[in-house]
Structure 1
Amino acid sequence: MGRSLRHTLDEVQQAPFVVDVLRSGDRLAAAAGAETGPEPVRLLAAVIDESDELTAVAAVHALAQVFDDGADAVLSELLSHPRPFLREHASWALGARLPRLDAIGRLVGVVVGGGFSGVLAQRTLARWAASAPGQVALAVEGALAGAAGPAVRSRIVETLGLVPGPIAGRALLRLAVSPGEHLAVRLTAVAALGDRPADAAAVAVVRDLSRADDDLGTVARLAAIDLGIDAAERGEAGSGLAVAQLFLHADIDRDLSRAGAGDNGGIATLLVRLGDALATGPGVDRVLTLSRGTARAALDALTPADGHLLTPVPLLTEAASAAQAWPSRVAAERGIRRVLRAHRVDVLHLRMAEVGSLAAAEVARELGIPTVFTLAPDPHAVIHALDMTGGLHRGNFGTQDEREHYWFRARLVQRLADDSAHVVLFPRPELQHDMRELLGLDVAGQPSRFTVVPEGVDLSVSAAAAAELERSGTSGPALEELDALVAALPEHRRGLPLVISVGRLHRVKGMATLVEAWAGDAELAERSNLLIVGGDLADPSPDEREQLDLIAEVLTRFPTAAPGLLMPGHRPNDVVAVWLAAARAGTAGGIGPGGVYVCSSLKEEFGLALLEALASGLVVVGPSAGGPATYIDDGMTGVLVDTRRPDEVARATRVAFDLATAPGQAERMDRALERIRADFTVQAMADRLSAIYSGAARTARRS
C-alpha cells in the first residue's frame, strides 16, 4: 500500500475544522481509488468503528473506491451496523460498486425502513437494476409480500418501478388494478407505469384507468402523458426564453398566503416576485415557478401560456419540510420532467441543495437543458458556525449528519456547481475568501463562470404599506389585527415600541435565540415588546415544534418578560409589510414609534426580510456573516452582530433602539432606501438574471 493513503487519512483525522474534512474526504477517496488488495480495506475499516464519526464517514466513501472484493464485503456488512449513520452511508457508497447479491436484500431492508437512508438505498438498487434487473426485482417483490401498511408498501412499489424488465412490470400491473390495495399503493404503481412506454400492457392499463374521474384517474392521465399516449399540449417556442425555477417545499400562491409557515420562507416570496419581474422584462416570454401541489392542479397547469405560471409538481405524499422531503425524489423527477417537456424550457435555475434541485438536475441532464445554479456556502456555513459553537464536532458528526444530511448536501452543491452553465453568487464582504475556505472554490480563477447577483425586493409593497398606514391610521384589516394583538397585552406594556422579526420557526433562523436575547436582558424587555411573525402554530412541523419548545423554556426562566412576547404565527407578505411600517411609525392603537427589526439567523446568505425591513425605514440588526454586511451600514442604518451569542444580540438591539431615535435618523434611512432602489430591487435582479439566462441558452444551442 502506498504512503499516500495513510498520509491522506492522517490529514482527515487531524483537520482542524469539519468543513476541511469535506474536501480532504474527497482526497481520501481518490487516494483509496489508487490502491488495490486487502491492506487499504483493513486500514479504512479499522477507523470506521472508532469514536471519530467524521473520519468514519469519510472512510466509508473511501472504501467504495478500493478495487478489492473485501471492500464490498465490509460495505455490505455495514448495512447491518448498529449505528444508523453508518448504514446510511454504506447504502450510498455501494452505488459506486457492482451489484452484490448478498447486499441486495439488505438494501431492500433499508428501503423498507424509509427516510433518507431509504432514498440512498433506493438509488443504489436502481443503479444495480440496470445490470441485474431480475435479482433486484425478486428481492423487492419478496419484501412487498411481507410488508404491511400503505406507506411501507408504497415505498417498495416505488422502488419496483425503478427496475426494468418483465418481473417488475407484471407486479406493477397487478398492483395498479388491484381493488384490495390501498389507494396510495395503487397511485404509486400507476405513476410508475408511466415510465414504461415499451410495455403494451402498461399502456393499456393506464389508458383504461385514465377514464375515471377520481384521484386514480388523474394520476393515470399524468402517466398517459408520460407514456406519450395522451400528449400534453406543448408550448410554442417564441422569440423570448422559457425559464423554469423551483422550490418544491413551499405552498406557493399568488397572494403568498403561507409565507412564514413551514418552509415557506423568503425563497417563496422571492420566486413569486422575481417570476413576475422576469416575465414582464425583455428576453423572457415565459417563467415557470414549480412548487408542490396536487395531481389535479398539476394536470391543469400543463396547458402552456406566456407570462409567469405557477406549475405544481405532485409528490403524492403529505407535505414535508425540506429536511424530510428527500423520499419524494422519484415523484419529483417525474413531475419536473413532465413540466419541462410540456413547456419547452430553455434554462433551468436551481437554488439550494435539496431534493427539488437533485431531481431537477437529473431531469435537465437527461433533456439537455442548461442549468444556472445559485451557489451559497450551504450547508458549509452552517457546519462551520456549529463547529465554532461546539454544536458539531468529530464525536457527533455522524449522528447530526443523519438528521441534516450535511455530507450529501455538500456533495450535491459541488455537483450542481460543476454541471451548471453559469454560477450565481450572493454578495458577501469577503466573497473570494469565503468560497475558497468553505467550499475550496477559486472564483477568481474562472471569472466568466461566476456572477454576483444580489436578491431584490419589490419596493411597491413597502410603499403601499406605508401609504395604507398614513391613510387609514388604525383602520384596515392588517392594522386592526396588529392593534388587537397589542390590546391583549398588560396595560403597562401598551405604547412600547416593537422588536419585530419575520421568518420561519427553524433553528437556523434563531428565533429562540432572539427570545432569549430579549427576555434575558431586563432593560430590553422593559422598554419593548417582541413580535415574532412566522410559523404554523395550529399545526407545527417538527422544526417549528422544536423552536416553540425552546421558546417556552426561555420564558420559564424569564417569566416577567413572557407577557411582552407576541407570536401570531405566519401572515401574508402584504400584511407583514404593513406591520413593519407600523413598527417604524407607531400606531394610535398602542404601538410606540421607533421600533427595530432583528434577524438572529445563524446564517443568512442574503436576507430578504432584513432588506424589506430596511426598505420600510426600520433600523435593523443582522448577522455579521454572509450577505447582510453588504447592505447594512453598521452603526448607521443597523447593527451587525455575532448572532450565535444571545448577549450580543441583546446589546445590538439596544444600540439599534438608540439609532432609531438619534438625530438624523430619517436622513440615514432615506439614504438606505436610495441604496436599495439603486441596487437591490427585484427588477434589477431580474435584469441581471435575464442576461445570464440568455448566455446559457446561447451556449447550449452552440454545443
Structure 2
Amino acid sequence: MTSTLATTTLDGLDSVRRASTLLDAIQLLEPLMAQVRADGESALWDLRVAIDDDGDQVTAILAVHAAAAGGRHLVATLVEPLLTSPVPYLREHAVWALRRCQPLPDVVGTLHGIARDGGFIGMLAEMTLETWGLLEPDVPSRPDHEPLLPPVRHHAPSGLTVAQLFLHADIDGSLRHAGKGDTGGIATLLVQLGDALVADPRVARVVTLSRSAGEGGRTATATATATATATEGDHGDRSSELATPGHHYLGLSLPGPLRSAADSWPLRRSVRQEVRRALAEAAPVDVLHLRMADVGSWAAAEVARELGVPTVLTLAPDPHALIAAREASGELTRANFGEADHAEHLVFRVLLLRGLATAAAKLVALPRPHLDRDLSQLLHLDPDDGGRPVVVPEGIDLAPVDRAAREVAAAALGEDVSPAVGAALADLDQLLSALPAERRGLPVAITVGRLHRVKGMASLVEAWASDPTLSGRCNLLMVGGDLRDPSPDEAEQLARIDSTVPRAGAAARGLLQAGHRPNGVVATWLAAVLAGRRGLSAPGGVYVSASLKEEFGIAILEALASGLVVVAPDSGGPATYIEHGITGLLVDTTSRGALADTVLAALDRAAAPDAQVRAQHARDLVADRFGISTMASALADIYTEVSRDAARHQS
C-alpha cells in the first residue's frame, strides 16, 4: 500500500473508489488528507461529489475527514453543514473530523449540545471540544468528586509491577461473574494469568483493573474468594495492601448503570479519570497490558502516555476480520457501509487499533493459521519490519480441570468429594432431571460462553433444533448469560433461541439453559458431560463452540483439557491447536447444516473405541503447549524487556 500523494484530489478519491477491499480503502485516508491539504480549495467540487454519493459510503466518509483537513473554506462549505445532516453516519463523521481543524466559534454551541445528548456521537463531540481546549480537563478525583489523594509512591518491590485491564467485567479471584454480560473468557484468562505471573520471580505484583459493580473501586488479593467494597476511609489500608507482592484487583467505578462494551464509548472521560486513580494507587507501575480496541484501552493508553507507563498491546484484527468476512459474503458493501459504521463504529475502531499499536512499546499476537497474511491484508502491517508482534498463545490453569476430573470420577463411585464439587454436581443433576425420561439416556452437547451474537449461541440452537437426527442424538446444554436480567445483547440471543425452541417446553425437547456459572462449576460440568451422570445423561458428551470468530478460545482449551471432543470455528485461533479429526473438528460455523453435521461427527468420535486415547492426547497437548505458566513466562520476558527499554530512555 503506497502513501505517495496522488496527482490531484480526484486521483486520491478514485484510488479509494478502486481499492480492492473496504479495509484497503480506509487505509488510504492519510494519503487522501495529505493531497487535500496540498490542493486546498480546488478540491472542493470533487470532495462534494464524493460526500453526496450514497452509493459509495466508505468514500463519502473518508471525504468528510479529508475536507476537515483542507482548510477553513472547505470546512465551512462541506463539513459544518453536515452537523445537521439527516444522514446519521455523515453527521457523526463530521463531528469527529472537526477535531482536525482550528476551533470554530460558530459550531461550539452545536457541539456542546451534541455532547449533552450523549451516545457515541456525544463522545465524539466531547473529543473535538477537548482537542480544541474547550472542555475542563477530567482531573483525577474520587467518585464523590473530592480531589484524589496524591499518588502513593510505594517502595518498589523487588520485581516488576504489571497492570492489566479489561473494562467490561467485574473481575475477582473467584470468577463468580463468568459468562454474565461481557464477562467472558478474558476474565478467566486475566485471573489465572495474574496468579501465574506473580509466581514468576521477575514479577512482584499484578494489578487487574476492571469495572466495579460497587462504589469507589475495590481491592482483593489473589487468594480472596470475594471482593471488598472500598470506602473513603479505607484508602490508606487499600494502598498499603497494594504495596505488597501478589495479584491485586482494582475496580473502576463508573457512572450510571452497567453498560455493554458497545455502549460504553460515552464513558471515555470517566474511564480515563478512574484509570488515573487506580494507577496512582498502584504506583509504581512498570507496564500496562492492553488487549482490545475499546474505550477502556483507549482511555488507559492516554493515561499511560501521561504517566510515562509503557504499554503492551495484544493485537487482534478486530473489527478488521469481521469487516473482511462480511464483505466477502456480500453482507457489507460500499452501498451500506455507512449504515453499518454508524451502528458499529467500524472506521473509528480500525483507526483506534492503529493508534494503540503505534503507541505500544511492544505488540503481542495470538496464533493464527495465516498470521503474516492477516497482518498484511487486515491490519496493513509489514510482517518483515521491526515491529512484528511476538506470538504468545493463551493458556489455562490445568489444576482445576484435573481436580474436577478426579472428583467427578470419585463421585461416580460413591466416594466423598469436596463440598464445591458436590454442589456443582447437584446443580447439574437438577438441570438434567428436567429432561423427560426418554431423553435421559442421551449424551450432552455443552457450550459455554457469553450470550452474544458473535458467540453463536442462538445459531447453535437453530442448527441443533432444525436437524432431527442431531436433536434426537443429544441434549444441548447452554452455559452463559444472565437469564434473569439480560443485557440487550443477551436479550437478543434469548429472543432468537425462544423463537426456535420456546423456553416453556425447552427441556422437554432437550434444550437446557443454565445461565452463567463460576469457572469452577463449569470445570466440574465439563468432566461430568464426558463421564455422564447415572440415570440422567450418557457418557461421551461433546463441546461445541459456534462462534462467528474466536481469537483463541479459552473455553475451548478447557474443554480439550477435560477430554471432550470439541467442535470449533475453522478460522482464527482454534485452527492453530485443534487437530482436525483427532482432538476435535473444525467447521464453518456460519453454515447451519455444516455445524449440525459436524456435531454429529463429534458424537461419533466421542463414542469410538479410541476415544479415551484421543482424550488423553488432547489433555497432553494442552499441558505441553498451553499451560498458563508457559504464557506467563513468555509475557514476563516481554514485560522485562519493555521495562528495561523504558528505564534506559528515561535515564
TM-score > 0.5 by shorter chain: yes
CA distance in 2, matches of 1:613, 1:241: 33
Aligned residues: 616
Aligned match of 1:9: 13
Q: Is the aligned partner of 1:297 residue 2:217?
A: yes
Q: How does the TM-score come out when normalised to structure 1?
A: 0.84
Report the secondary structure of 1:35's partner residue: helix
Note the C-alpha offset of 1:107.
1.0
Q: Is the aligned partner of 1:278 residue 2:217?
A: no
CA distance in 1, matches of 2:25, 2:458: 30
Q: Is the aligned partner of 1:470 residue 2:409?
A: yes
Listed as ranges, the matches of 1:129-140 within 5 Å are 129=133, 136=134
Which among 433, 437, 446 is matched to residue 386 of structure 2?
A: 446
Q: Is the 8 A contact 1:295 1:316 kept in 2?
A: no
Note the C-alpha offset of 1:232.
5.0
Q: Is the aligned partner of 1:341 residue 2:280?
A: yes
Which among 630, 635, 638 is matched to residue 576 of structure 2?
A: 630
Note the C-alpha offset of 1:454.
0.2
Residue identity matched to 2:258: A
Q: Is the 8 A contact 1:41 1:71 kept in 2?
A: no
Aligned match of 1:389: 329
Aligned match of 1:224: 147
Report the secondary structure of 1:3's partner residue: coil
Indicate how the Cα distance of structure 1 residues 556 and 194 shifts in structure 2: closer, same or farther if over 3 A, else same. closer
CA distance in 1, matches of 2:466, 2:508: 11
Note the C-alpha offset of 1:50.
2.2
Aligned match of 1:46: 49
Note the C-alpha offset of 1:599.
0.7
How far does the alpha carbon of each residue in 1:631-675 deviate from its partner, in whole angstroms, 9 at most, with x for none? Answer: 100011111111111111111111111111223222222122111
Indicate how the Cα distance of structure 1 residues 504 and 431 shifts in structure 2: closer, same or farther if over 3 A, else same. same
Residue identity matched to 1:22: I
Which among 250, 258, 270 is matched to residue 319 of structure 1?
A: 258
Q: Is the 8 A contact 1:483 1:589 kept in 2?
A: no
CA distance in 2, matches of 1:470, 1:537: 30
Indicate how the Cα distance of structure 1 residues 97 and 589 shifts in structure 2: closer, same or farther if over 3 A, else same. farther
Aligned match of 2:372: 432
Q: Is the 8 A contact 1:72 1:97 kept in 2?
A: no
Listed as ranges, the matches of 1:352-431 within 5 Å are 352-431=292-371
How far does the alpha carbon of each residue in 1:506-561 deviate from its partner, in whole angstroms, 9 at most, with x for none? Answer: 1111111111111111100000011111111111111111111121222369x999
Aligned match of 2:227: none
CA distance in 1, matches of 2:140, 2:210: 21
Residue identity matched to 2:51: I
Q: Is the aligned partner of 1:235 residue 2:174?
A: no
Indicate how the Cα distance of structure 1 residues 68 and 224 shifts in structure 2: closer, same or farther if over 3 A, else same. closer
Residue identity matched to 2:124: L
CA distance in 1, matches of 2:151, 2:353: 33
Residue identity matched to 1:469: V
Residue identity matched to 2:359: D
Residue identity matched to 1:397: F
Which among 257, 263, 271 is matched to residue 332 of structure 1?
A: 271
CA distance in 2, matches of 1:674, 1:434: 29
Name the structure where helix makes up a greater proportion of residues. Answer: 1
Note the C-alpha offset of 1:589.
4.1
Note the C-alpha offset of 1:567.
0.8
Which among 543, 548, 561 is matched to residue 615 of structure 1?
A: 561
CA distance in 2, matches of 1:388, 1:547: 25
CA distance in 2, matches of 1:561, 1:656: 22
Report the secondary structure of 1:567's partner residue: strand
Aligned match of 2:224: none
Q: Is the 8 A contact 1:555 1:561 kept in 2?
A: no
Note the C-alpha offset of 1:4.
4.1
How far does the alpha carbon of each residue in 1:257-304 deviate from its partner, in whole angstroms, 9 at most, with x for none? Answer: 110110000011110110111112121111000001234335544442
Q: Is the 8 A contact 1:246 1:290 kept in 2?
A: yes
Aligned match of 2:122: 118
Report the secondary structure of 1:439's partner residue: coil
Percent of counterpart pairs with the same letter? 49
How far does the alpha carbon of each residue in 1:459-498 deviate from its partner, in whole angstroms, 9 at most, with x for none? Answer: 0011111122112238811111111111111221112111
Aligned match of 1:167: none
Aligned match of 1:204: none
How far does the alpha carbon of each residue in 1:374-405 deviate from its partner, in whole angstroms, 9 at most, with x for none? Answer: 00111111112222333322222222222221
> After the TM superposition, which of the residue ranges 395-404 and 479-488 deviates more from structure 2?
395-404
Note the C-alpha offset of 1:46.
1.9
Aligned match of 1:659: 605
Residue identity matched to 2:370: E
Listed as ranges, the matches of 1:65-76 within 5 Å are 65-76=69-80
Aligned match of 1:264: 183
Q: Is the aligned partner of 1:548 residue 2:467?
A: no
Note the C-alpha offset of 1:2.
6.5
Note the C-alpha offset of 1:26.
3.7
Indicate how the Cα distance of structure 1 residues 71 and 235 shifts in structure 2: closer, same or farther if over 3 A, else same. same
Note the C-alpha offset of 1:341.
2.5
Instruction: Provide the alpha-carbon RMSD of the alignment.
Output: 2.1
Which among 238, 242, 247 is matched to residue 308 of structure 1?
A: 247
Indicate how the Cα distance of structure 1 residues 232 and 434 shifts in structure 2: closer, same or farther if over 3 A, else same. closer
CA distance in 1, matches of 2:394, 2:479: 21
Q: Is the aligned partner of 1:587 residue 2:533?
A: yes
Aligned match of 1:104: 108
Aligned match of 1:575: 521
Report the secondary structure of 2:378's partner residue: helix
CA distance in 1, matches of 2:345, 2:154: 38
CA distance in 2, matches of 1:548, 1:290: 30
Q: Is the 8 A contact 2:33 2:67 kept in 1?
A: yes
> After the TM superposition, which of the residue ranges 13-22 and 54-63 deviates more from structure 2?
13-22
Residue identity matched to 2:602: A
Report the secondary structure of 1:258's partner residue: coil
Residue identity matched to 1:364: A
Residue identity matched to 1:583: V
Note the C-alpha offset of 1:11.
2.6
Which among 59, 62, 66 is matched to residue 62 of structure 1?
A: 66
CA distance in 1, matches of 2:428, 2:66: 56
Report the secondary structure of 1:659's partner residue: helix
Q: Is the 8 A contact 2:115 2:121 kept in 1?
A: yes
Indicate how the Cα distance of structure 1 residues 353 and 542 shifts in structure 2: closer, same or farther if over 3 A, else same. same
How far does the alpha carbon of each residue in 1:301-326 deviate from its partner, in whole angstroms, 9 at most, with x for none? Answer: 44422210001111122211111111
The runs of 5 or more residues in structure 2 that have no matched partner are 219-229, 415-420
Residue identity matched to 2:250: T
Which among 161, 166, 174 is matched to residue 136 of structure 2?
A: 161
CA distance in 2, matches of 1:73, 1:105: 18
Aligned match of 1:80: 84
CA distance in 2, matches of 1:290, 1:494: 43
Residue identity matched to 1:296: G
CA distance in 2, matches of 1:389, 1:490: 41
Report the secondary structure of 2:162's partner residue: strand
Report the secondary structure of 2:563's partner residue: coil
Aligned match of 2:417: none
Residue identity matched to 2:588: D
